Amino acid sequence: MGCYRIAEIGGDGIGPEVVAEAVRVLEAVQSSELRFSFERAEVGAALYERTGEDLPRETVDLCRSVDAILFGAAGLPDVRHADGTELVPQVTLRMLLDLYAGMRPIKLYPGVPTPLKITDGRAIDYVIFRENTEGLYVGVEHYIGVGSDRKAAAESVMIVTRFGAERIVRYAFDYARRHARRKVTLVHKANILKLTQGLILEAGREIAKQFPEIAFEDRIIDATAMALVLDPSRFDVIVTENMFGDILSDEMAGLVGGLGFAPAANVGSDVAIFEAVHGSAPDIAGQGVANPTALMLAACLMLDHQGEREAARRVRAAVEGVWREGHARTRDAGGQASTAELTDAVIAKLRA
């Protein structure tokens, strides 16, 4: 138990709205032994329009000094850098803070609509770990000119280091051991990308030997994508490279209710960001209809990370209870409840 300094970064669109609701829930779970102090900071497109910066130095410095970061969403479709590139301060922040482990829990809560035809009662409850700092997302790319056509071709470089591969695989296995998970699945494309993906596969096979109590398997990415739709209950912990993890986690978010139910953690050695997977959704910003569930569940990941397991359990139970009863469904899940009304229902559960 303790007092934690939390950077509160709303960002753009619905980001400030859902972060504010997560803060309300964290304030409701406080006790004499568990306290939070929140410090606001700015990033994103709206800030860029005002100041010419989307990630100011003072925000980075604050993020380095706090115990954890709650992040909403960043970016607006019509706001770009002067060179036409997209504003992605959240990615830049991950790189600056070396938040190498991207964690996305995938769980289907009772009462949440899903397009899956689940008839045998098997649960969907697993975790995807994504390497956050390497692969194609390092952005090393350039045009290749031919004659007068300077854009005749384009080339991107996939960078995979043994250090990066080993630390994300080890993180996944350590997580599985701490949380009594039974199996780790490493997802790759080493049958085609024999060197870069092969390095990840090699790291997985070697590190798996150090965790004999945990089953290990490796799967090709395309076969995994199909299996996640046909029988997601067969998975427990998945670890993969940057782009594959991004795609698979969004695929599965759609099968457990959508991005409004998809929390994420980006973890480094010194600090971590806890966020929703969804974007800024400017089309519904300010209407009070956004689903704050993902940010509430991200706050639970933050509590877990800080060792506050009982507080995390209480918040998850409250969120699950509200969705099971179905009295406070937001619009994205077929209901009429407002953002604040859903939070009110969760807080009422916490205080019951």
Rg (CA), the chain: 20
64-94 confidence digits (pLDDT tens)? 999 999 999 999 988 888 888 888 899 899 9
| Residue 122: band (very low, low, confident or very high) from pLDDT cuts 50, 70, 90 | low
What's the whole-model pTM score? 0.92
Residue 195's contacts (CB-CB under 8 Å, 6 or more residues apart) are: none
| Residue 159 exposed, middle or buried by CB count within 10 Å (0-12, 13-18, 19+) | middle
Of 122-126, 129-133, 242-246, the one with minimum mean pLDDT is 122-126
Q: Chain-centre distance of CA 251, in angstroms?
A: 13
Band of pLDDT at residue 243, cut at 50, 70 and 90 = very high
CA nearest to 303, candidates 60, 42, 9, 70: 70
Report, as residue numbers or ranges, the catalytic residues. 137, 189, 222, 246, 250
Q: Where in the chain is the domain with CATH 3.40.718.10?
A: 1-102+261-352, 115-255
Residue 237: pLDDT over 70: yes
User: Contact 77/279 with Cβ under 8 angstroms?
Assistant: no
Single-letter residue type at 15: G
- Tokens coding 310: 């009982």
The sign of the CA dihedral 251, 255, 17, 102 is negative
Q: Provide the residue type at 351 as one letter.
A: R
Is residue 114 pLDDT above 90, yes or no?
Answer: no
Q: Measure Cα distances from 117 to 120, 215, 263, 333 in Å.
A: 9, 28, 23, 17
> Are 200 and 233 in contact, with CB atoms under 8 Å apart?
no
Of 242 and 123, the one with more pLDDT: 242
How confident is the prediction for the chain on average, in pLDDT?
Answer: 93
Tracing tokens 């995979």 back to the chain, one arrives at 160
CA proximity to 295, closest of 303, 307, 283, 284: 303
Find all residues with CB under 8 Å of 236, minimum gap 6, and list them: 126, 127, 176, 181, 182, 183, 184, 185
Q: 246, 208, 226: which is closest to 200 by C-alpha?
A: 208
User: Rounded distance, CA 177 to CA 107, Å?
Assistant: 19
**What is the per-residue pLDDT for 203?**
97
Class of domain 115-255: alpha beta
| Closest to 341 (Cα-Cα) out of 301, 292, 276, 279 | 292
- Residue with the bigger pLDDT between 115 and 189: it is 189
Strand stretches in 62-213, DSSP E: 68-73, 101-107, 125-131, 141-146, 149-156, 183-188
Residue 336 CA: distances (Å) to CA of 89, 173, 342 = 33, 41, 10
So what's the pLDDT on residue 119? 47
DSSP calls for 233-284: GG-SEEEE-HHHHHHHHHHHHHHTT-GGG-EEEEE-SS-EEEEESS---TTT
Domain boundaries 1-102+261-352, corresponding CATH code:
3.40.718.10
